């Protein structure tokens, strides 16, 4: 028994050294380890949990595929992964095999998850077996931030022009769309003064203003 404890202590030290800085690896306690394959939320991503039994490594460790992370993984894919790990573990009985088991799946990941559909029904999870701590709560904060970043960002000059076109309450001032008659006539060519006066008087009448008719000065 002392030899097993010493062997397990050496393997634990080796695992911590090898996977230092690897965010896909996680040690839950002295005897339980996890490794994640693929990107988060990808439909072919999965997580393997290995637990050392009392007689490990003289016997196979317990391999758990029923974590909450694997809730979308279909049973057929889980079975293929478990079979691959079991076949590999049988060859390493009596030796530290956790690193070997984790690594052997990297080369076979595509093949083992080939039958996983992109849209699979979420499977029910037994919380008594996986524990509440295994739950992963989705956070939509990042998604919301990405949506906010897509909104058009106005420059200071654009904001200032937009502000000046309103009454600072978000409404355009009265008469913003009125036509400058004098300016319009100056651009369309000269007309008889009586025509100009008539046009101006008509425009004023339409907006409720009374302005005396302008007469040309005698020079």
Q: What CATH number is given to the structural domain containing 67?
A: 3.10.110.10
Provide the β-strand partners of residue 63.
Answer: 50
Confidence at residue 173, expressed as pLDDT on a 0 to 100 scale: 61
Do 85 and 179 lie in one domain? The reply is no
Do 139 and 156 lie in one domain? The reply is no
Confidence at residue 158, expressed as pLDDT on a 0 to 100 scale: 74
Query: What's the pTM value of the predicted model, to 2 decimals?
Result: 0.56
Is pLDDT at 69 greater than 90 in this prediction? Answer: yes
> What number of other Cβ atoms are within 10 A of residue 97's Cβ?
22
Do 35 and 58 lie in one domain? The reply is yes
Asked, for residue 191, whether it belongs to a domain, the answer is yes
d(CA 103, CA 90): 15
d(CA 188, CA 200): 15
Do 94 and 119 lie in one domain? The reply is yes
Positive or negative: CA dihedral 92, 98, 104, 105:
positive
Asked, for residue 55, whether it belongs to a domain, the answer is yes
Give the number of domains in the chain. 2
Provide the β-strand partners of residue 64.
Answer: 49
Is pLDDT at 192 greater than 70 in this prediction? Answer: no
Retrieve residue 216's tokens. 């040309």
Do 127 and 163 lie in one domain? The reply is no
Asked, for residue 186, whether it belongs to a domain, the answer is yes
How far apart, in Å, are the Cα atoms of 164 and each of 79, 120, 153, 169, 180? Answer: 68, 54, 18, 11, 19
Do 135 and 163 lie in one domain? The reply is no
Cβ–Cβ < 8 Å for 44, 36 = no
pLDDT band of residue 135 (cuts 50, 70, 90) is very low
More confident residue, 194 or 55: 55
126: containing domain = 2-143
Percent of the chain with pLDDT over 90: 51
Is pLDDT at 40 greater than 60 in this prediction? Answer: yes
Give the end of a domain, one of 117, 143, 169.
143
Do 190 and 91 lie in one domain? The reply is no
DSSP class of residue 125 equals -
Asked, for residue 158, whether it belongs to a domain, the answer is yes
Do 100 and 177 lie in one domain? The reply is no
Do 170 and 108 lie in one domain? The reply is no
What stretches of the chain show up as alpha helix (H) in DSSP?
2-18, 75-90, 98-104, 109-112, 127-130, 141-149, 156-164, 181-188, 193-206
Q: Which residue is it, tokens 């573990």?
A: 89
First to last CA, the chain: 125
Asked, for residue 171, whether it belongs to a domain, the answer is yes
Order of strands across the sheet that contains 32-37: 25-27, 32-37, 46-51, 62-64
Asked, for residue 213, whether it belongs to a domain, the answer is no
Do 132 and 159 lie in one domain? The reply is no
């Amino acid at each position: 028994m002392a030899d097993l404890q010493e062997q397990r202590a050496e393997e634990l030290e080796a695992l911590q050294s090898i996977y230092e800085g690897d965010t896909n690896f996680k040690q839950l306690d002295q005897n339980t380890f996890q490794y994640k394959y693929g990107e988060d939320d990808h439909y072919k991503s999965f997580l393997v949990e290995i637990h050392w039994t009392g007689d490990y490594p003289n016997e196979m460790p317990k391999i758990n595929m029923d974590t909450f992370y694997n809730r979308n993984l279909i049973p057929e894919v889980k079975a293929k992964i478990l079979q691959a790990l079991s076949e590999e573990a049988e060859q390493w009985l009596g030796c530290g095999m956790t690193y070997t088991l984790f690594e052997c799946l990297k080369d076979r990941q595509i093949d083992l998850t080939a039958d996983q559909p992109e849209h699979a029904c979420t499977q029910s999870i037994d919380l008594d077996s996986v524990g509440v701590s295994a739950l992963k709560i989705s956070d939509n904060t990042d998604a919301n931030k990405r949506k906010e970043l897509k909104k058009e960002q106005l420059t200071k000059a654009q904001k200032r022009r937009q502000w000046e076109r309103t009454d600072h309450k978000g409404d355009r001032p009265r008469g913003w769309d009125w036509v400058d008659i004098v300016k319009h006539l100056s651009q369309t060519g000269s007309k008889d003064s009586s025509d100009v006066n008539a046009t101006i008087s008509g425009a004023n009448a339409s907006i409720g203003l009374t302005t005396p008719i302008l007469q040309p000065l005698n020079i």
